[in-house]
Amino acid sequence: MLESIQETAEKIRKLEIQGARNVAIAAIKTIEVLAKHTQAKNKADFLKELSKAKKTLFVTRETEPLMRNAIRWIMNRVDKNNSKKVKDIARTVSSSANQFLNNLERSREEIATIGANRIRNGSVIFTHCHSSTVTYMLQKAKQQGKIFEVICTETRPIFQGRKTAKEMLDLDLKTTMIVDSAARHFMNQADIVLVGSDAITSEGNVINKIGTSLIALAAHEARTPFYVVSELLKFDPATIHGDYEKIEERDSSEVWKDPPKKLIIRNPAFDVTRRDYIHGIICEEGIISPHSTMEVVRRKYPWVFE
Amino acid sequence: MLESIQETAEKIRKLEIQGARNVAIAAIKTIEVLAKHTQAKNKADFLKELSKAKKTLFVTRETEPLMRNAIRWIMNRVDKNNSKKVKDIARTVSSSANQFLNNLERSREEIATIGANRIRNGSVIFTHCHSSTVTYMLQKAKQQGKIFEVICTETRPIFQGRKTAKEMLDLDLKTTMIVDSAARHFMNQADIVLVGSDAITSEGNVINKIGTSLIALAAHEARTPFYVVSELLKFDPATIHGDYEKIEERDSSEVWKDPPKKLIIRNPAFDVTRRDYIHGIICEEGIISPHSTMEVVRRKYPWVFE
Amino acid sequence: MLESIQETAEKIRKLEIQGARNVAIAAIKTIEVLAKHTQAKNKADFLKELSKAKKTLFVTRETEPLMRNAIRWIMNRVDKNNSKKVKDIARTVSSSANQFLNNLERSREEIATIGANRIRNGSVIFTHCHSSTVTYMLQKAKQQGKIFEVICTETRPIFQGRKTAKEMLDLDLKTTMIVDSAARHFMNQADIVLVGSDAITSEGNVINKIGTSLIALAAHEARTPFYVVSELLKFDPATIHGDYEKIEERDSSEVWKDPPKKLIIRNPAFDVTRRDYIHGIICEEGIISPHSTMEVVRRKYPWVFE
Amino acid sequence: MLESIQETAEKIRKLEIQGARNVAIAAIKTIEVLAKHTQAKNKADFLKELSKAKKTLFVTRETEPLMRNAIRWIMNRVDKNNSKKVKDIARTVSSSANQFLNNLERSREEIATIGANRIRNGSVIFTHCHSSTVTYMLQKAKQQGKIFEVICTETRPIFQGRKTAKEMLDLDLKTTMIVDSAARHFMNQADIVLVGSDAITSEGNVINKIGTSLIALAAHEARTPFYVVSELLKFDPATIHGDYEKIEERDSSEVWKDPPKKLIIRNPAFDVTRRDYIHGIICEEGIISPHSTMEVVRRKYPWVFE
Amino acid sequence: MLESIQETAEKIRKLEIQGARNVAIAAIKTIEVLAKHTQAKNKADFLKELSKAKKTLFVTRETEPLMRNAIRWIMNRVDKNNSKKVKDIARTVSSSANQFLNNLERSREEIATIGANRIRNGSVIFTHCHSSTVTYMLQKAKQQGKIFEVICTETRPIFQGRKTAKEMLDLDLKTTMIVDSAARHFMNQADIVLVGSDAITSEGNVINKIGTSLIALAAHEARTPFYVVSELLKFDPATIHGDYEKIEERDSSEVWKDPPKKLIIRNPAFDVTRRDYIHGIICEEGIISPHSTMEVVRRKYPWVFE
Amino acid sequence: MLESIQETAEKIRKLEIQGARNVAIAAIKTIEVLAKHTQAKNKADFLKELSKAKKTLFVTRETEPLMRNAIRWIMNRVDKNNSKKVKDIARTVSSSANQFLNNLERSREEIATIGANRIRNGSVIFTHCHSSTVTYMLQKAKQQGKIFEVICTETRPIFQGRKTAKEMLDLDLKTTMIVDSAARHFMNQADIVLVGSDAITSEGNVINKIGTSLIALAAHEARTPFYVVSELLKFDPATIHGDYEKIEERDSSEVWKDPPKKLIIRNPAFDVTRRDYIHGIICEEGIISPHSTMEVVRRKYPWVFE
């Protein structure tokens, strides 16, 4: 049944599945399938299968702490199960997978509710790239009858800002698109900046789509509040141990299809936004100071550190 | 002969002629042609023709102070010529046009020489958009045997960074291209930022390609020296009188060819970089503090203020 | 017995009772009275009375987290009491009210002791508005034999700075008063800034008398340490959920009794001071970084979050 | 005729005449009267009279560079007149006084024209205290059909903001008044800050009503452009020589009529705004960088330095 | 046996034993010796001896929280031991002393491992003074095969930078020494700053060798990451209570052996680096935000607060 | 007579003559001697001698614009003398040398007078290294009866601060010495920072003793005014043309006499202080904004640019 794991891993690697939530959900589901159909004869064999699955999924992409935390959670539950029966363990996989998905869903609702409270009537929201958590939260605010408009960057090189723009127009919001470079030019017209997050480090910094840190800097210069909207489980425990959050570097053809010879194209997918530029992280525990993230995660999800 | 004026104006408007220098040169040349072939019967008529030509050319694009200063110079010379003969005046047009072009050429050489002195062996230069003055200066530095590399942004929406990249590769320089959003990510690796200028205001601020002010802000944050490379005649005397340098807004299709309905696309061509983010303006008078630009222009080109 | 509740609520609304401590104490006492004299026949009825009292008091003023936390504490104790007898519940109200008052008193002592340690002999203290916690702390420092002087702003529109000035003179301290606008002019002469707090948000920002954030900004510019002196229970749990701390807007006649027609007078009572301008919060848990406030409250007063 | 001089001096000292322009005009006029009616028998006597008048007027108030420059101008003209006849000198006094007044009037018009160009339709203007130059400029903008609104501080201690508010309402502008302390609270809603000036130093700093530097700091924090609207002749040549612009300290009763005994009330009338917080000085020479003020004055009014 | 205590105390006072770790270890060992050889006849006497030893050691130097925390730990263990036998208590002293030393050793290893992960191949590390924790961590990085170079300040007045330089050369690292004043000149060439710590305050500030805060300021200006490498037990609980971390002032002869008469020489050994200039504290709990230090210590070493 | 030139050059190179003023004076005098005793038979030969002398002196040290400007002045006078007689030219050398020395003396007096006005009674002055212009100015202030104290850094590596300290004690001023690293620790106690200058660039930056830029940064952080005290002729015209002011690197033995093998010691003598950290340059033209220096030099000493 490990083929299904490998297939999913492949899809993640090739970006056929993308977005931190989608990736985490796919990984969980494929492990669940593995557990359901395992033919392992004893606990030891089953644990080996699980461990292999974990490794396979962990290496797919560098900046996927949510997916890794999902798998950590399942493995943690499995470790705590003393039964020697494969079936029991498999059931634990299944139930813990469900718990994770439910928690993810609940977090998303809570974040949307909390964030929507922050939207003021008549305000102008600036956003960058596409984040399903941000757009879900804006949808909630709209449903509450709030009136606001959105400025989105196009988000080179692969124009995820267009996806955001379409979703905003579908919500019937006044929507403006600009090139990434125009962020400072329009910053004084924005009332609040909202972005998602790919990873949060132990220092309280946020890794997100390339360009986020530049927008944060411009927001800081203009005294425009800058918020990160994110599940706490984007926290990456590897950073505690001094590992740099690796910045994935993607194919140069995304930037220029037929570049001149010898031209070096650098295409990092993310950058690091310093905690000092972030007013707050809107997460399932409320709006918190990024400086305290690690302690909040320790309190809420202690198993991440085990 | 005014058709030729209108043709040139049209080409400028449609960006068939572009780049501040090219636009200024084209405008001067078409006025010279007008003067050469005028059929005006008396001075008054000829002056009317010139005045009409001036107006036609002035309105072509909003941010072209170099071209306007070129025309101002010619008109200034004409005003000072007391002869009543059309021929004499025409000769003045011709000679002052030549003087302007010569001065422009000399300025370019001086700027390149001065700027090349600033390039240190082994340094990494960061640049944005395309500026013929910047690339000419880098060419000079290369010819002097200096070794350095260049990071260029792609410069959305119309990718002028690609033009810069090609010219750098033609000079056999190690060249790296990044998306505009990655400016902060790479800023700590740069030793100096060099950009051109479309206009300089009386306060000492610089108008340049959209995104320049964001890069200046990131350079400031990283203590990376940021220089503007520009002829002094990019100074716009209208700003003295409180007029905002108008920021040209270009067609939305440059940003997105087939955008969803109702989407507002804002596409300003330029932004304003505050003097405090600029280490110096490298101009034909040397490397000056932007704060003193207006006084330097007054000393060097007093006719701009007449 | 609910009339007494309503009377107290009325007094709070009309500012006959004011100051966060006084308001909290009055609210607690009126609930205690309610409990003592209740004629509720069963637990359900009594709980309804309490709930009604809670609602009545909660809506009196927008920025009174200390009072709300006091009531939350009592209700929390009541919730945990499983007895079905009205008398038992009433006793719980009484005892928990006393616990709260005792805790408040103890906090005040601890804060004064901790804060007094921070006062250096010969130093100049800058303060704004009137805070009984600040003045009590300065009294303690004076009693310890420390010599220092105080600069107070007058604190428009209702001149609470005069109250502070009088209290400082009564302590026989050298006292100087300035208009609010002169804060920056005198900042370089101050060694430390001390202000109170009306509310602390989940992000770690402090809500205090209008003008506080301007003084914090000037202190930051001058590298003058800026401390907030406050009970931890000024923490407002509503901010966790994204609610903005509402900024009460008071009557325009406070600013100008007979203003010209059509003049809009805005009279917000408070403003928000960003955590980054605050060196520390001097509270009953010691001097803490404002960034960690929410976690400190969670540890010390977990019931606030229930 | 020196009594008339002394009378005027007295009125200036007692603030019966106030506002830099009014003071300068009164001083010029009283000198003109002196010249007209002088009974001096020879040039030497007349020069003594003039010199005495100069001294009398110079010491009236500490921060009146405009008035002092007015007298400097007249004395400069007198110095350059070689005639030995009292009448001729008196005529020079008269004519130079008129020149000064005309120049002042012209400057005012030019400043208003230039400044009005800076007002954008729909914008919110923040101002402090009362400046006739600022209000004249806003009047001009209004007459041009521009729509904008104004936020004024009340400007403690003597509420000059009320005068501004009334004038704005008379222009039928939407006008909001706030206490001085609320400047940061409302800064993010302002598009531009406009203030007057009492003096400009050789370093390029501006002396203006107490509180101006605090507002400038808050504008800087919020990236809101901050402009000083001022005649160049507010430049104080004494600062070149290292003299501090003296900050006049006014009577404490302006702050508190019946203060408690021993309370020290400090009531400086002005503060210093650093050039780095000022986007530009809107003066008769256009919008200039404050850093270049001294050189601009040297070019335009070289006699100030003689 | 108290003589041995006094001897050790004397050595600490005279700097014959120095470095926070060495001082703590010596203090622990001398207490252990005391416990081993005590001739106290009953628990009460023994506790008196211990208490006296504690006092003697506490007062040796002002900035030694690690040593004080070591003694606190032992006393805490003793307090919790209910046995009445001197021998039992002595055994507790011994075992808790060992636990502390083991913990210290483990922390050092963890810090080195975590910190070494942060060192990037080819990077330039800037350091100040001598910290055995920093140098151990660099040794670990070197052993992992990483290539990097080090810039060390000489660290006046007693040139501890020379010790660092020698250790770096012994590790065969390219090593550059500069005077302290040259820190800003070389900052743009550094990729990361690493310093040790003598004490951490409850606000999250770090006390370290004089000059550290100046280097932190220069690193901040240049956007160079600045890390503190430190055991968590450098946290000083006295700061919670408002005590200033006392800054030891050392003999003037360290600065100038034969100074002119009347010259005042100030020679503070440490300064305070604000948390906002610190990217992270590399400690045994991982890389943490300095703002959360107190909460992390509370979680990990709760006995510090008892 | 060129041997005398070479001797002087040698002394300058070996630092037997040092301090910008002393070096300039020695250079002038040796040229005067050359002129007096020349045996050149015709103008051409004499000009060759002068030109050789100029070259010899120019290359002695890298950062000596004052000396170079002195020689430029003499050569400029010589160039303008059309006489063909050696004697006439020699007389011009002599007279222009005297003019320069007189001007230097006058500038020094003016600077001291202007600067002394800036010293406030009771203030604390912070200074770095030794500058004869600064100490002369403080002497003047003392003579005027002002009371103030001085904090000097020791100024590693060659302790010029000790020279300053002695001179201050000789003036009977309260004087405190600190290590360079302690600058930030004591900055909040200083009222003003005063330093000299070795060179001023066309951008308005100041080159001075290593460490100056770090002190300027700390002064900026603490809002302590930072002034440069300098003759305008420290302006280096080479910087106009893009040449970096070369930073002289001195012998490593100044830093460490017997360093371990392989240790690289970097010992730059100067660093660059950005104009934005400088409140003003106190020069013979008054207190000016550094941003306008080049224009002020152009007005006052136009021959520098010829």
- Token pair recorded at residue C23: 């308001």
In this prediction, residues A135-146 reach a mean pLDDT of: 97
Q: Which of D129, D152, D236, D283 is catalytic?
A: D129
Residue position matching structure tokens 């305070």: E272
Structure tokens, F245: 């002011």
d(CA E217, CA E215): 5
Closest CA relative to residue D276, chosen from B44, C284, F226: F226
The pLDDT averaged over each successive group of 10 residues in chain E (306 residues) is: 85 89 94 92 93 94 92 95 92 95 96 96 97 96 97 97 98 98 97 97 97 98 97 96 87 96 96 97 97 97 94
pLDDT band of F62, cuts 50, 70, 90: confident
Is the distance from CB of E117 to CB of E124 less than 8 angstroms?
no
Contact C197, C208 (CB under 8 A): yes
Reported as a pLDDT band with limits 50, 70 and 90, residue F109 is very high
Tokens (6 digits) for C212: 């506080």
Check if E188 contacts B (Cβ < 8 Å): yes
Residues 82 to 101 of A: which have CB under 8 A from any D CB?
none
Neighboring chain D residues of A122 at a CB cutoff of 8 Å: none
Binned average pLDDT, 10 residues per bin, chain C of 306 residues:
85 89 94 92 93 94 92 95 92 95 96 96 97 96 97 97 98 98 97 97 97 98 97 96 86 96 96 97 97 97 94
- Can you list the positions of beta strands (E) in chain B? 123-127, 148-153, 174-178, 192-195, 199-200, 206-209, 226-229, 264-265, 270-273, 280-283, 286-288
Q: Which residue has the higher pLDDT, A276 or C62?
A: A276
C283 is catalytic: no
DSSP state of C198: S
Active site residue C79: no
* Residue-level pLDDT at E1: 56
Which string of DSSP letters, residue by residue, matches E249-290? B--GGGT-SSPPTT-EE--BSEEEE-GGG-SEEEETTEEE-G
E138, E172 contact by CB (below 8 A): no
Tell me what the mean pLDDT of segment D138-149 comes to. 97
Indicate if the pLDDT at residue B18 is higher than 90. Answer: no
Residue B291 sits at the chain F interface (C-beta within 8 Å): yes
Which candidate in B45, B88, B129, B271 is catalytic?
B129
Closest Cβ opposite residue B287 in set F240, F275, F291: F240
- Residue A65 three-state SS: helix
Mean pLDDT over residues B120-128, rounded? 97
Catalytic residue among F152, F198, F236, F283: F198
Residue C272's pLDDT is 97
* DSSP run (H or E) holding D24: helix D20-37
Asked if F154 and F252 touch (Cβ cutoff 8 Å), the reply is: no
Confidence at residue D1, expressed as pLDDT on a 0 to 100 scale: 57
Most C CBs within 10 Å, among A110, A133, A292, to test the C interface: A292
Would you put residue D223 in left (φ > 0), alpha (ψ -120 to 50) or beta?
left
Tell me the CB-side half-sphere exposure of residue A160, using CA atoms within 13 A. Answer: 17
User: Would you call B171 an interface residue with chain A, using a CB distance cutoff of 8 Å?
Assistant: no
The reply to whether omega before A157 is within 30° of 0 (cis) is yes
CB neighbours of F55 closer than 8 A, spacing ≥ 6?
Answer: none
What is the percent of chain A with per-residue pLDDT over 70, rounded to a whole number?
A: 99
Nearest CA in chain B to A221: B217
In this complex, whether F and A touch, counting 3 or more CB pairs under 8 angstroms, is: no
**CA of E290 vs chain C CAs: smallest distance (Å):** 9
- Is the minimum CB–CB distance between F203 and chain B shorter than 8 Å? yes
The span from the CA of F303 to the CA of F306, in Å, is 5
Asked if A289 is an interface residue toward chain C (Cβ–Cβ < 8 A), one would say yes
**Å between C70 CA and nearest CA of chain D:** 29
pLDDT at E57 (0 to 100) = 95
User: How far B184 CA lies from chain E's nearest CA (Å)?
Assistant: 11
Mean pLDDT of A114-136: 96
Q: How far is residue A125's CA from residue A104's CA, in Å, rounded to a whole number?
A: 25
- CA distance linking residue D183 with residue D188, whole number of Å: 9
Contact D256 C182 (CB under 8 A): no
pTM summary value:
0.95
Using CA coordinates, name the residue in chain E closest to C223: E274
- Closest Cβ opposite residue C176 in set D177, D247, D266: D266
Per residue in A158-216, pLDDT (tens digit) is: 999 999 999 999 999 999 999 999 999 999 999 999 999 999 999 999 999 999 999 99
Q: Quote the minimal CA–CA distance from F204 to chain B in Å.
A: 7
Report strand pairing: E192-195 vs E123-127. Answer: parallel
Rounded to whole angstroms, the Cα distance separating C283 from C115 reads 9
> What gap in Å lies between CA C96 and CA C100, rounded to an integer?
6
In sequence order, the 6+-apart residues with CB closer than 8 A to the CB of B78 are: B47, B50, B89, B92, B93, B96
pLDDT tens digits, residue range B164-189? 999 999 999 999 999 999 999 999 99
Q: Say whether E291 and A295 touch across the interface (CB within 8 A).
A: no
Tens digit of each residue's pLDDT (9 = 90 or more) over C204-256: 999 999 999 999 999 999 999 999 999 999 999 999 998 887 888 999 999 99
Q: Work out the average pLDDT over F169-176.
A: 98
Which residues does D76 contact at the CB level (< 8 Å), separation at least 6?
A: D96, D303, D306
Using one digit for the tens of pLDDT, what is the confidence trace for F137-157? Answer: 999 999 999 999 999 999 999
Is A157 in CB contact (< 8 Å) with chain B? yes
Per-residue confidence (pLDDT) for residue F1, from 0 to 100: 57
Say whether the ipTM exceeds 0.90: yes
pLDDT for the residue B1: 57
In whole angstroms, what is the distance from residue F84 CA to residue F43 CA?
Answer: 6
Which residue in D202, D276, D289 is closest to F286 by CB distance?
D202
pLDDT for the residue numbered F306: 86
What is the chain D residue with the closest CA to C166?
Answer: D260
Average pLDDT, chain B: 95
Q: What percent of chain A stands above pLDDT 90?
A: 91
pLDDT at residue C244 in the model = 82
- Is the separation of the CB atoms in F168 and F192 below 8 Å? no
Our CA-based measurement puts residue C177 at a distance from the nearest CA of chain E, in whole angstroms, of 27
For residues C124 and C190, the answer to whether their CB atoms sit within 8 Å is yes
Do the Cβ atoms of D296 and B291 come within 8 Å? no
Task: Summarize the confidence of residues B246-252 as an average pLDDT.
Answer: 90
How far is Cα F170 from Cα E262, in angstroms, rounded to an integer? 10
The catalytic position among A45, A79, A88, A129 is A129
Structure confidence at residue F18 as a pLDDT band (50, 70, 90): confident
| Cis amide linkage into residue D157, ω under 30° from 0 | yes
Tens digit of pLDDT for each residue in D255-281?
Answer: 999 999 999 999 999 999 999 999 999
- From chain D, the residues in CB contact with A223 under 8 A are 187-188, 221-223
Helix, strand, or coil (residue E157): coil
The conformation of residue A14, written as its DSSP 8-state character, comes to T
Indicate whether F290 pLDDT > 60.
Answer: yes
Neighbour tally for A13: CB within 10 Å:
12
Residues of E in contact with A289 (CB under 8 A): 291
Please confirm whether the linkage preceding D260 is cis (ω < 30° from 0): no
Three-point CA angle D231, D236, D237, nearest 5°: 125
Stretch 109-138 of chain F: residues touching chain D, C-beta under 8 Å:
113-118, 120
- What's residue A206's pLDDT? 97
**Which residues lie across from B193 on neighbouring strands?**
B126, B226
Q: Do A113 and C275 touch (CB under 8 A)?
A: no
Identify the CA nearest to C71 among candidates C91, C97, C89, C94. C97
pLDDT the model gives residue F232: 97
Please report, as a single letter, which amino acid is at residue F203.
E
Q: Is E187 on the interface with B (CB under 8 A)?
A: yes
**Rounded CA gap, E271 and E211, in Å?**
7
Q: What is the pLDDT of residues D113-130, one digit of tens each?
A: 999 999 999 999 999 999
CB contact under 8 Å between D180 and C211, yes or no, is: yes
Which chain D residue's Cα is nearest to A192?
A: D188
Taking CA–CA distances from C157, the nearest residue in chain D reads D179
Q: Lowest mean pLDDT: which of A225-229, D164-168, E77-81?
A: E77-81
Which conformational region is residue E155 in: left (phi greater than 0), alpha (psi within -120 to 50 degrees), or beta?
Answer: left
CA nearest to D240 within chain F: F286
Which tokens hold the place of E137?
A: 């961590």
Would you call A242 and E289 a contact, using CB atoms and an 8 Å cutoff?
no
Judge contact between C278 and C216, C-beta under 8 A. yes
From B135-139, C217-221, C273-277, D81-85, the region with the lowest mean pLDDT? D81-85
Q: Is the pLDDT of residue A276 over 70?
A: yes
State the DSSP string of D70-85. Answer: HHHHHHHHHHH-----
**Catalytic, out of D79, D152, D198, D276:** D198
Task: Render F23-64 in DSSP notation, one character per residue.
Answer: HHHHHHHHHHHHHHH---SSHHHHHHHHHHHHHHHHTS-SS-
Residues of C in contact with D166 (CB under 8 A): 260
Parallel, antiparallel, or unpaired for β F174-178 and F148-153? parallel
Is the pair B, C in contact (3+ CB pairs within 8 Å)? no
Calpha distance E223→F132 (Å, rounded)? 36
D interface mutation test: which of A188, A224, A226 has the most D CBs within 10 A?
Answer: A188
pLDDT range class, residue B3, cuts 50, 70, 90: confident
Closest-CA residue to F296 (of B299, E263, E169, D35): B299
Tokens representing B147 are: 């070794």
